[in-house]
Structures are given as structure tokens and as C-alpha cells.
Structure 1
Amino acid sequence: MLHHDLQSLRLFVAICETRSLSRAAERTHIALSAASRRLKLLEDQAGLALVRRLPHGVEPTPAGLTTLAYAESVLHLADRYVAAVSDLRSGARGTVRVSASSSALVAGLATDLAAFARSHPDIRIDLDERPSADTIEAVTRKQADVGVIIRGQALEGLSSFPYSRDRLSVVLVPEHPLADRTAVSFRELMDEDFVLLEVGTAVNRLVVERARDLGRHLKVRVQVRSFEVMCQMVRQGLGVGILPEAALRPLVTALDLRLVHLDEPWAVREIDVCVRQGETPSRATDHLLKALAGSDFA
């Protein structure tokens, strides 16, 4: 019979995510020697190797991947139990873990979550900002209860409903030849230097794919992680940027930039709410889902 403690399971999940025993030990605040012993004990109890040692790190074996899936489920239940007990002590009725892309937050989600929190003071919202692909993974792995994502990505094991939409626009310095235009096609930007959001974001993937459809490759000069830094790089003359219009408006004013509509059908993006398929949500999660489904955007 297996007897795995939660700390060892958290360590194993961290090992699989970081592909490194030392980084996993650091993340879980366990001494490296103790982490090595815990991993060996897990493997001894399983009677199988759970990780494969590589020259620079480790990777899970097939048995390790099976262990990872069950470990994540066990930890999810344990975390929900701890949160539920904490909520009972504080008088709250529950916690909802929400993962959302930056685009979703500026497209109205932040406002809707704030309104929900005011009308449901006994429900706590844990908000994690992640790219859409990472949000889908978080919901699938039970690291989040609700995901808010840009539509167009595979949702295996998840169900979704429409929530909102946003529009992509181009941000330019005032002296740019296109700055006085009201709209510009994507093809007209193909010879420009670009300041682009990092790989993995929905905007990055979309504009790279659309450039490929035109038989072109974007001239990416700088890649950044945030809307604010992108606009600052554009202001310094390093290129043009493409961002959700709702995110651009306050930054354009603050940095004296110009916003030009991107005249493409794909520039209007749909935003969806996703949850795990076939799973009955908690009462708190159900309240939030109904609020998002009935928002002004949905």
C-alpha cells in the first residue's frame, strides 16, 4: 500500500514542472538532500522509476506521468479542503480560483470581478493572470476553477461559453507615416519593425500566423511581457506594436502615442469562459459563472 504525504507529492509535481530536482527543492522549500530522499521513497513505494535522469535535469517516465496526474488531483482536493475550512472560519462561503489572460482582464473581466466581489463579500476570488494557453492548462489540471481565454484554442475536456470580445489595434509614434490614418491593413505593416508580446501569448501567435498566411515573416526587434513595456518600447522608436484596443487607450494618452485600427476581420477576437467538462462546480463557482454569463458583455 502506498503512503504518500502531501509534501512529497508537491515536490514531485514541482520536479515534473521544472524538470530539475534542485529547482523543485528550492520551490518547495526542502533541502536538496531531503528532496532526493523523498523522491527515492516515492519510487521505492511505487516499485518503478518515476523520473529519468538526464545530463541536465530529469524528465518523468510513463509511470511518473501517471503519478503526476494523480498527485495533482490529490493536491487539488487537499487545497480545496484547506480553503473550505479557512472559509468556514472566516465566515466566507467559498473561494473561486480564476485564471485569465491580460486581454480578458482589460476587456471587462476586471470590472466584472470587482462588481461580483462587492455583491458577494462572502466569496473570495483568487485571480491569476496567465496567457490563454496556460489558463487552459491550469483549468485542465485543476489549478483553476474558471478560465477566461481568447477563443480559437483546443479545449479538450473543457466546455465554454461566450463572454466578451476585444479588438486589436496598432500603436505608433506620432511621427510615423501611418500615424494619421484611422485604419491600416496588416499587409501594410509587413516591412515594419515590431515590438511583440512574448511567445505563448494569443496576440503573438495570431500575428505570427497571419504574417505566415501572407508569405512573410515579421521583423521582430523586441519581445516583451507586458502591454506597458510594449508601449514604452514603441515610444522609444523600436517598432510598431499590436495590442487590444482597451489596453492601449490609457497607455496611448499617457505616452503620447497614436492608435490606429487594424483593418482585418481577425482583429476582432472573441473571449470565452471555460470550465472542466462534466464536473459539478462549487456553489461559489456557480455563482460566478452565472454572473459572467449574465454580464453586459456575454
Structure 2
Amino acid sequence: MHFDLADLRIFVHVAEAKSLTAGALRAHLSTAAVSARVKSLEAQLESRLFYRSSQGVELTPAGKRLLQHAHLILRQVERVKSEFSGYASDAAGHLRIFANTTAVIEFMPEVLADFLAARPGITVDLQERMTSDIVRGVLDGTADMGILGIMVGVEVPSRLKTLPFSRDRLVLATPLDHPLASRREITYEDALDYPHVTLHEGSTLFHYLERKALELGKPLPVRIQVFGFESACRMIEAGVGVGILPESCALRYRDHMRLSVRHLSDAWAYRERSILIRDDHILPGFGQELLDIITQYQSARPLSPEPRTPVQS
């Protein structure tokens, strides 16, 4: 069996575009040439890779499997090129990172601003993804690393290396005059008796809280959904509802908003912030540098003590 990297790149273009024509445009080839290369690849693998229809193409099970291998092979080739083009200098390269909402909004902008300013030849593709997508992306090589908050009881596949770098917890944010604001201890079940301000349905936090509510036999009482923690805090301050937020975020906005921040007593409210990489995967030098920067940046931000009882005004 023999196929070259060009065939793999063409296959990936077609698979991601879900169209021979669009894939040909990405590959800067004619549709006929791309179709012939795909057929040749199918013949060599003795497997059908695409289902073809008038709407485009769809991967077969064999095609999905090949796409996983193709991503890994092509990304490894790019790393080799990157490392040897600037040999040991890491002057140029690319990283793809899948991260949860908290990482994308709360600390990665600051981390990447300093990191990229000092490395003009490096580019980063940071994508907000659900926890399951982060794990899958790192496993199949679509992402170089993943950043997420691993909750109590969450299993990570053995093929992945987990690098914890800080702890965070979920807290309840309420208006200052809310009935729960003066409570010393609050459970998530207590909070479910009140309307909630939540993040959008595509966020990891929303899906996690929705699942936890169902485990308690209650629906998550969503009053309004927003994009971003600042918007959520403004809605909570205005009295629209209460909200479950990462503590680091809630305390930041409490400094200039009329909010009460109370800890949840539920064990699952604690999260281990972790970086995921493949156990058999070697990051390029600049990737390892970014990993170290994230670790150092967050290790300097320990958990705070129990928030003080708010002063009513």
C-alpha cells in the first residue's frame, strides 16, 4: 500500500468541506483531478471513503477512521517542518487549542496576548468547545492541547495525559437583596428554586448544570441566556435571576457590581483546571512554553476564602 501526503491533504479538504467541488477549491485543483485522487486513495485502501449525493459527500465509517489518522499524520508533518525550518529556535509554528468557556473568556486572552507578542512567528487557533469535544479533539489529533475544568467523577481516557494547574469552584451569584444572599451554606438544589441567568446552550457550563439539575429531579429554571460572564453578572445584579459561575469570574465582577457571591456546598462544585495532551504526543518547543506559561499564570491565583457576608445597602 502506498499513498502520498498530497492525497491525504486532498482527502481532508474534501471531508471538511463535505464537497468535492469545495475541496478542490481549497486544494487549488480541478474537481475532476480531486475526484480521481480520491478514487485512487479508495482503491489503495480497498475501502469506500465517501457517500456521494447531489448535496455533496459524507464520510463512511472507513472515511471517518481515515480522517482521524490523516489529522495526526499531517499535523505531525507540520511539526517536523516547523521544528527543522527554524531548527531549535521555534521561530514559527501553529497550535490549535480546544478550551472550555471559562478558559476562553477568563484567562487565555491575557496569556496569549503576552505569549504571541513575544513570538511573532507563532499562530494559535483557540476554539471554545464542550468538554466531550475537547477530549475527543485531543484524542484524535484535531487539537494539540485541551484546557478544561475536570469535575468530580469525570473520567479522562488513559491515552491522555492530564496536567492539573489550578483549582476553581462554582459559586452562586445573586443580587444583594436576594433571599439566598445571607445564607452561609447553599446547595445547588436550593438555588434551583429561583430563576437562573445562564450562559448560552453551546457552553460546557450550561450543559453541566442542566445535567446536575436533572439528577436532582428538577429542571434548570432558565430565565435568560447570555453570551459571556460579564453579561450574566449584569443581569444578576439587575435582579433578573441568580446564576452559577466560576468563582474567579464572580469575584472579579463583584468588585464593581452589587453582587453577593456564595459557595455551593455540593462536592461536584470543585473543579480541577487541567491541560490535556496525548500521552504519546510531543509538543513543539513553543507549545511546551505555552503550557508552562498557563501553569505559572494560574498557579499564582489560589482559591479565595469563603466570600464575606455582603453588606446590604
Under TM normalisation by the shorter chain, which class is it?
A: 0.7 to 0.9
How far 1:177 moved relative to its partner?
2.6
Q: Which blocks of at least 5 consecutive residues in structure 1 are unaligned?
A: none
Do 2:233 and 2:253's aligned partners in 1 also have CA atoms closer than 8 Å? yes
TM-aligned CA deviation for residue 14 of structure 1? 0.9
| Residue in 1 that maps onto 2:174 | 172
State the SS of the aligned residue for 1:184: coil
Residue 132 (structure 2) pairs with residue 130 (structure 1): no
Kindly report which structure 2 residues correspond to 1:132-151, keeping only aligned pairs within 5 A, or say none. Answer: 132-151=131-150
Of 10, 22, 25, the match for 2:22? 25
In the alignment, which residue of structure 1 is the partner of 2:42?
Answer: 46
1:277 CA drift (Å): 1.1
8 Å CA contact 2:24, 2:31 repeated in 1? no
Distance 1:55 1:121 in 2: 46
How far the C-alpha of 1:266 sits from its partner, in A, is: 1.7
In 2, Cα distance between equivalents of 1:254 and 1:55: 56
RMSD: 4.0
Q: Deviations over 1:225-250 (max 9, x none)?
A: 42233334434544321110111223
Question: Which residue matches 1:204?
Answer: 206
C-alpha change, 1:12 and 1:222, in structure 2 (3 Å) is farther
Letter in 2 for 1:70: H
Comparing 212-221 and 252-261, the one that deviates more: 252-261
Look up the equivalent residue of 2:10 and give its one-letter code: S
Q: Which amino acid aligns with 2:209?
A: V
Does the 8 A contact of 2:24 with 2:30 survive in 1? no
Equivalent position of 1:73 in the other structure = 72
State the percentage of identical aligned residues. Answer: 26
Tell me which amino acid in the other structure corresponds to 2:34: R
Task: Report what 1:221 is aligned to.
Answer: 223
**Match for 1:154: what amino acid?**
V
Q: What is the identity, as a one-letter code, of the residue corresponding to 2:124? A: D
Q: Pick one of 260, 263, 270 that aligns with 1:261.
A: 263
TM-score (ref. length: structure 1): 0.75
Residues 221 and 238 in structure 1, CA contact (< 8 A), matched pair in contact too: yes
Take 1:243 and 1:35, find their aligned partners in 2: how far apart are those partners? 49
Q: Residue 251 of structure 1: SS of its match in structure 2?
A: helix
Q: For each residue in 1:60-114, what CA deviation from the matched residue of structure 2 results, as whole angstroms up to 9, or x when unmatched?
A: 1122123212321233134324544665698727665544323246776666667
CA contact (8 A) 1:87 1:94 kept: no
Letter of the 2:41 partner, please give it. Answer: Q
* Cα distance in 1 for residues equivalent to 2:187 and 2:252: 23
Partner-residue secondary structure (3-state), 2:157 = coil
| 8 Å Cα contact 1:4-1:42 kept in structure 2 | no
Letter in 1 for 2:22: A
TM-score (norm 2): 0.72
- For the structure 1 residues 241 and 46, does the alpha-carbon distance in structure 2 shift closer, same or farther, using more than 3 Å as the test? same
What is the letter of the counterpart of residue 158 of structure 1? L
- Residue of 4, 8, 14 corresponding to 2:16: 14
- 2:51·2:57 contact (CA, 8 Å) conserved in 1? yes
Deviations 1:139-174 (A, max 9, x none): 223233332221224335211132111111122234
1:157 is aligned to 2:194: no
Distance 1:40 1:223 in 2: 48
Aligned mates of 1:271, 1:167 — CA distance in 2: 10
Secondary structure, counterpart of 2:268 in structure 1 = helix
Q: Is the 8 A contact 1:116 1:288 kept in 2?
A: yes
**Distance in 2 (alpha carbons) for counterparts of 1:142 and 1:267:** 30
Q: How many pairs were matched up?
A: 291
Cα distance change, pair 228–270 in 1 and its aligned pair in 2 (3 A) = same
CA deviation digits over 1:7-41, x for unaligned, max 9?
Answer: 523413414xxxx439x93997579x956863564
2:218 alignment partner AA: R
Matched residue type, 1:126: V
CA distance in 2 between partners of 1:288 and 1:281 (Å) = 10
> For residues 269 and 46 of structure 1, what CA distance do their matches in structure 2 show?
45
SS at match of 2:142: coil
Q: 1:13/1:209 Cα in 2 relative to 1: closer, same or farther (>3 Å)?
A: same
Counterpart for residue 270 of structure 1: 272
